[in-house]
Structure 1
Amino acid sequence: MSKFSNLGHRLHRGEIAYDFVGKRKLWYGVSLLITVAAIVGLAVNGLKLGIEFSGGAVFTTPKTSISVSAAHDKIAGDTAGHDATIQKLGNGSLRIQVSDISTDVSKQVQKNIGKDLGIASTKIDAEIVGPSWGKEISQKALEGLIIFLVLVVAYLAIAFEWRMAVAALVALLHDLTITTGVYAIVGFEVTPGTVIGLLTILGYSLYDTVVVFDGLKEASKDITKKNRFTYSEVANRSLNATLVRSINTTVVALLPVGALLFIGGGILGAGMLNDIALALFVGLTAGAYSSIFIATPIVADLKEREPQMKALRRRVLAKRAADAKRAAEAEARGESPEDEADDDSAEPEDAEAAAAVVGPRGQGARTTGARPQSGSRGSRGRNRPSGKRR
């Protein structure tokens, strides 16, 4: 068994744990900085909408030896005052995209491109997208995203509770903001492939989040009847139990996406793959981060504000303080503190009662030097191999 696999087993069994929930203010700060940087990039650069959303024309030339940079220089000034995006396709042809031009203007641009590149304009294929159609597509995409978020929140509120639905929504908005901000900073075009990528990563982010929430829901069942862990501690244990699985699934998903982005789009020059690959790569990374460092800590924050969870925290802390006091007294007498059976149902209901019960146990019951012989201790002693009490 590898070290990583052994680590996963130990995390799942609760033998070791990383305090993600306890350090949630640190993760909130990191997320805030990343989100602000994304918003600034979005405000400064803006999104570069493809012609499917802004309208325009796409001109495809026959196979040519002209490079992308040479084509830029040749057609400069002949694209009706708009910037042209040029890509070299796999068959050797050029794909020239000019946004925000009408049908009449696109005909003149087509003639100019043919003249500048030395290609007959009749051999250049032109695909025109009207501005009204692009606006309609943008509106439909936004409506689809809003409907998706509403359905997700409704489902999580019914299947789990409204606090988990709020936490999942915050995590999703966090992922969307970071992904769109990276798009603005990098300058990639927003195409239908981008929308597909965004919806895909939202679903993937929800998958990780729901897995953690399902384990948390099961682990926190009847938690107020026990005095062993606070809600935040139970949330952290549930998060650690699924940590390795979340990392494994994210890495496996990022490998093919990274190949599309860095090899397909970067090395091989298949530029059209960049649109969906960048959205997937950034979104998957942000989704894995938010499911671990954002969603679960937010649920813990919201739950800890409930009166019953506040009372639970007081009881847990009082019990631990009492246990520490008994251990210190036993150590002072040179004795080894004995483990006591965990009976959460018998614990007092508040911190003051806990302190009152522990006091006589830790002081009055042991001032004579005799140990109280409880039934649970006697039976536990009989179950030892020697059959004797230690």
Structure 2
Amino acid sequence: MGMAQLGNRLYTGESSFDFVGRRRLWFLIAAVLVLVSGLLLWKPGLTFGIEFEGGSEFRVSGSSDQDTAREAVEEVLPGSVPTVTTVGTDGVRIQTETVTPAQLDEIRAELVERLEVPADDVTSSSIGPSWGADVTDKALTGLVVFFIIVSIVMALYFRTWTMALASLVALVHDLVITAGVYALVGFEVTPASVIGFLTILGYSLYDTVVVFDKVRENTVAAFATRERTFAQAANLAVNQTIVRSVNTTVVALLPVAAILFIGDLLLGAGTLRDISLALFVGMLVGAYSSIFVATPLLVVLRSREAGVKALDADVREGRTPQPQPALGAGGAQ
């Protein structure tokens, strides 16, 4: 059976996966992933770049000798523990605590001498701790503002707080797991990473809105016809949109995977690697949450409403709305 044929059968309800009915399983999986990610964020924790913590950075072109680069820094800063990574195939990056301008020049000279590269191939930069703290505050402010705006927009668009809450829970789920993967692989959190986090939150939200639009359409019809329970109508909506969600996610992940491969294996540490990892993990987790977390959670939240309880009771007992007689010549009398 082809993807198009499967999509047609799911859309018409001829075939169906019980996403909502198995919500306890999906919630358990989500809880485990979030718990593991939380533990990873605690230990080993996130590795923040110098943009957030402050420090000095040296980049050397034409040599990838990490040991010699580390020895050059330790010669000027005895007892320091510099972070040394390879950049591309013939470059190296060294990060240390913030040093004085004189020490900056000494380390550059030592790198030139020990790595035997031209002076123009060694660049350096320093960021003070106060500037790093300011960047951190702005990044956190951006995330908080994003969640506030999302809450307001979702509540106004769907005219219900339950969809806004379910969307926010899914977004937090995506953010925590993506950050946990960052902690696991040891990638640095840079401003590019924060941009990636905000991007995947927008992608996840878009995917959730598409599913919720179909949920709203199906549940409105269910309240009118009394042929499906609220959970059945919501489950049908997920089945009707799942093929689209999978196709969209796969198409989006392919170029991001290529960027991640190039940024990590070919170019080494850099902006491409930082942002592509967040996008790759976030898109994957976002597609999962829109199907397996957001909609089942919405059903749980709405199941306590009196209208939903009445609908479910009517469907179970086979009650359908009585057709209203048309007003004709006799009805006008």
Q: Report the TM-score, using the length of structure 2 for normalisation.
A: 0.89
Q: Secondary structure at the match of 1:220?
A: helix
Aligned residue for 1:346? 322
Does the CA contact (< 8 Å) of 2:66 and 2:86 recur in 1? no
In the aligned structure 2, how far is the partner of 1:122 from the partner of 1:240? 59
In the aligned structure 2, how far is the partner of 1:285 from the partner of 1:209? 13
- Pairwise CA distance, 1:196: 1.1
Cα pair distance change 1:274/1:122, threshold 3 Å: closer
Deviations 1:37-89 (A, max 9, x none): 1111110111111111111122123424xx34444554463473132232234
Aligned residue for 2:58? 59
1:77 counterpart letter in structure 2: E
Aligned residue for 1:113? 111
Select the structure of larger CA radius of gyration. Answer: 1
Cα pair distance change 1:212/1:83, threshold 3 Å: same
Aligned residue for 2:140? 142
Does the CA contact (< 8 Å) of 1:68 and 1:86 recur in 2? no
Aligned residue for 1:158? 156
Does the CA contact (< 8 Å) of 1:71 and 1:117 recur in 2? yes
1:243 counterpart letter in structure 2: I
In the aligned structure 2, how far is the partner of 1:37 from the partner of 1:52? 27
Does the CA contact (< 8 Å) of 1:74 and 1:117 recur in 2? no
In the aligned structure 2, how far is the partner of 1:188 from the partner of 1:112? 28
| Aligned: 1:305 with 2:281 | no
In the aligned structure 2, how far is the partner of 1:179 from the partner of 1:111? 40
Q: Secondary structure at the match of 1:242?
A: helix
Structure 1 segment 18-57 matched on structure 2, within 5 A: 18-57=17-56
In the aligned structure 2, how far is the partner of 1:247 from the partner of 1:79? 54
1:239 counterpart letter in structure 2: V
Deviations 1:123-164 (A, max 9, x none): 632111121111111111110111011001100000101100
Aligned residue for 1:181? 180
1:180 counterpart letter in structure 2: A
Cα pair distance change 1:192/1:162, threshold 3 Å: same
Deviations 1:301-336 (A, max 9, x none): 1111111211221221122xxxxxxxxxxxxxxxxx
Q: Secondary structure at the match of 1:20?
A: coil
Aligned residue for 2:84? 85
In the aligned structure 1, how far is the partner of 2:43 from the partner of 2:69? 25
Aligned residue for 1:315? 314
- Pairwise CA distance, 1:122: 7.3
Does the CA contact (< 8 Å) of 1:35 and 1:177 recur in 2? yes
Which deviates more from structure 2 when the two are superposed, residues 282-291 or residues 47-56?
Answer: 47-56
Does the CA contact (< 8 Å) of 2:9 and 2:15 recur in 1? yes
Structure 1 segment 362-381 matched on structure 2, within 5 A: none
Does the CA contact (< 8 Å) of 1:102 and 1:130 recur in 2? no
Cα pair distance change 1:73/1:292, threshold 3 Å: same
Q: Using CA pairs under 8 Å that are at least 6 residues apart, name the structure with larger relative contact order, 1 or 2.
A: 2
| Aligned: 1:168 with 2:167 | yes
Aligned residue for 2:274? 275
Task: Give ranges in structure 2 of 5+ residues lacking alignment.
Answer: 324-333
Identity %: 43
1:226 counterpart letter in structure 2: T
Cα pair distance change 1:107/1:19, threshold 3 Å: same
Which deviates more from structure 2 when the two are superposed, residues 235-244 or residues 125-134?
Answer: 125-134
Cα pair distance change 1:301/1:62, threshold 3 Å: closer
Q: Secondary structure at the match of 1:305?
A: coil
Cα pair distance change 1:230/1:271, threshold 3 Å: same
- Pairwise CA distance, 1:222: 5.6
Cα pair distance change 1:296/1:201, threshold 3 Å: same
Aligned CA RMSD, in angstroms, stands at 2.1
Cα pair distance change 1:125/1:69, threshold 3 Å: closer
Q: Secondary structure at the match of 1:344?
A: coil
Cα pair distance change 1:198/1:4, threshold 3 Å: same
Aligned residue for 2:130? 132
